[in-house]
Structure 1
């Protein structure tokens, strides 16, 4: 059983550590930090569900330094997640499930990590939450954007406070925002690459704005004026049976490094995604929200090239081949109109 630590005050050393690898000296195990504020209904924030994504930790440090001599405007609960992977600078350790795939409602809850997260949810939902924020980074070149699982008013307003770019998704399941959406407005914020000051500042400002917000206003978010909303239609992975590379011409699938520049840009039909080894049978695996394999709906292979079959927008393309193997190559998205 993975221990869950609980703290009611900022532990000594938390604000002094310089990177996530040092966090285990302060918190040897996953930790819930409960801090009382002026408004009692708490904001719930999760950081380091992926151990190599440190912006959440840095943002919380910045925020707690700001209020070191003052009471928080609102009660705050912070869950510090995969402390063990953070020590090694990895998304997750080998043999570990992804800490953002084991939340209630997913298919990977039957593990020690799943039991840990179930306990976290039980404890933080013992009182009514104001909102939930899960802070992440990308490994590829992406804008800062918010991810929501419902198109309800409060969720859209929450997104608008972070920025114009919003992704609506229903899969994968087992993620924090999808689980917490059952209890309160919930969002995942993607803050660019790790270690960058701009991401830290943006995340800290967003959390601070929620600490100050008294209630969600009766305000209708207008899609074309306030938000650019995209809907994830498919997840693209590379089967374990096939090798892949950006540089090795002998790999079963050779990816195009230039595609990283296309994140959140609409690509035309016929856009080149990869080359396949001559005479081989390698291809992507593509699954939609219904968990239906749909490669042939979105891609075609011709003359050793994998090309897009219809205009779509990719996201989360990264040059980090280890992350691609652990998670996915990219997501495919379409724009949606909130007024429909």
Structure 2
């Protein structure tokens, strides 16, 4: 699949909400908004159609910044029209970038435009502090991450995510802002874009110390028949516990109805770690060990399409 590449940006789009972009764009679209003599940076938004703060930040940035030099990728406008992560008949747009034809199309685009960094903007489905996700610990990547937040998650698993696919070409981040209804989500993304446009190169080193975590498990939920009915009841404290330490013995699932399974997979999805993390008693699940959690959601469709949350551990970054 070739991206729809456009050189001209229709200024009417600056007034268009994410849910209406499908009226103007036929699918994944690249806007070549480079300025002569100015190396661009790459920005991606709406890989998940229900994560709209990135689009709000980008359109404000374009409206406010006459000297911007960017390559803009707008992802899943069909899903955005339905306020969904992705439609039932679609792939997850942030889990495809090692697959063909997406991989070659992206590599061709990046080789042509030579961006100096790549930023993929997302929202969280629950309350989370703003943070970045990185897939390498190069000094340039850490320096880029420090512009957005002092909090960073390093992950060995890539799940075909866009930021990892960009990383051979330039330093790249997945930027995780807050929820879509938090106005600070779009503001923080806008501030990042503005700062990148000002500096136009990756800093030599991080601007401050980074609070670093590493992904050690992915919590999944599934029903044996694919049902959404009688969704498990997760402990109410979890939705406010992102990046907090949860003690061993803490309740995690308060009611696990018949037919449902909650599991923990290692980041590469090759090992089932459920018995290491959970003890099950009377249709409840309790933590066996202390963990840090991020990106928790109890929304059934989001949990089924992606995951319930990630389990993390604090880590030291090996700069290289």
Q: TM-score, normalised by structure 2?
A: 0.92
Question: How far is the alpha carbon of 1:170 from its aligned partner?
Answer: 2.0
CA distance in 2 between counterparts of 1:27 and 1:191 reads: 25
- Give the Cα–Cα distance (whole angstroms) in 2 for the partners of residues 285 and 240 of structure 1: 11
Residue 210 of structure 2 corresponds to 227
CA contact (8 A) 2:224 2:259 kept: no
TM-superposed CA distance for 1:212, in Å, is 1.9
* Separation in 2, partners of 1:192, 1:9: 31
The residue number in structure 2 matching 1:15 is 14
Verify: 1:218 aligned to 2:225, yes or no: no
1:291-302 alignment to 2 at 5 Å? 291-302=270-281
Work out whether 1:241 is the aligned partner of 2:227.
Answer: no
- Equivalent of 1:51 in 35, 49, 52: 49
Corresponding residue to 1:196 among 182, 187, 197: 182
Residue 259 in 1 paired to residue 258 in 2?
A: no
Q: Give the secondary-structure state (helix, strand or coil) at the position aligned to 1:258.
A: helix
Name the CA distance, whole Å, in 2 between partners of 1:127 and 1:304: 54
In 1, the alpha carbon distance for the partners of 2:107 and 2:303 equals: 29
Contact 1:146 1:163 in 2 (8 A): yes
Contact kept? 1:13, 1:26, Cα under 8 Å: no
Match of 1:61 in 2: 59
278, 281, 284: which one aligns with 2:262: 284
Of the structure 1 ranges 285-294 and 41-50, higher mean CA displacement relative to structure 2 is found in 285-294
TM-superposed deviation, 1:26 = 2.1
CA distance in 2, matches of 1:314, 1:242: 28
- SS of the residue corresponding to residue 101 of structure 2 reads helix
Change (3 A) 1:197 1:39: farther
Given that 2:144 and 2:203 are in contact with CA atoms closer than 8 Å, whether structure 1 keeps it comes out as no
Conservation of the 8 A alpha-carbon contact between 1:167 and 1:229? yes
Contact 2:251-2:287 at 8 Å conserved across structures: yes
- State the secondary structure of the residue aligned to 2:312: strand
Matched, 1:164 2:150: yes
TM-score (norm 1): 0.86
Does structure 2 retain, via aligned residues, the 8 Å contact 1:315–1:330? Answer: yes
- In the alignment, is residue 94 of structure 1 matched against residue 80 of structure 2? no
| 1:132-151 matches, cutoff 5 A | 132-151=118-137
- State the superposition RMSD in angstroms: 2.3
Distance in 2 separating the partners of 1:306 and 1:244? 20
| Off by >3 Å, runs of 4+ in structure 1 | 242-245, 275-278, 280-283
Instruction: Show CA shifts across 1:40-67 (max 9, x none).
Output: 3220111000011111111111101102
Listed as ranges, the gaps of 5+ residues in structure 2 are none
Deviation of the 1:305 alpha carbon: 2.3
Q: CA deviation at 1:218?
A: 3.0
CA contact (8 A) 1:276 1:283 kept: no
1:5 to 2:1 alignment: no
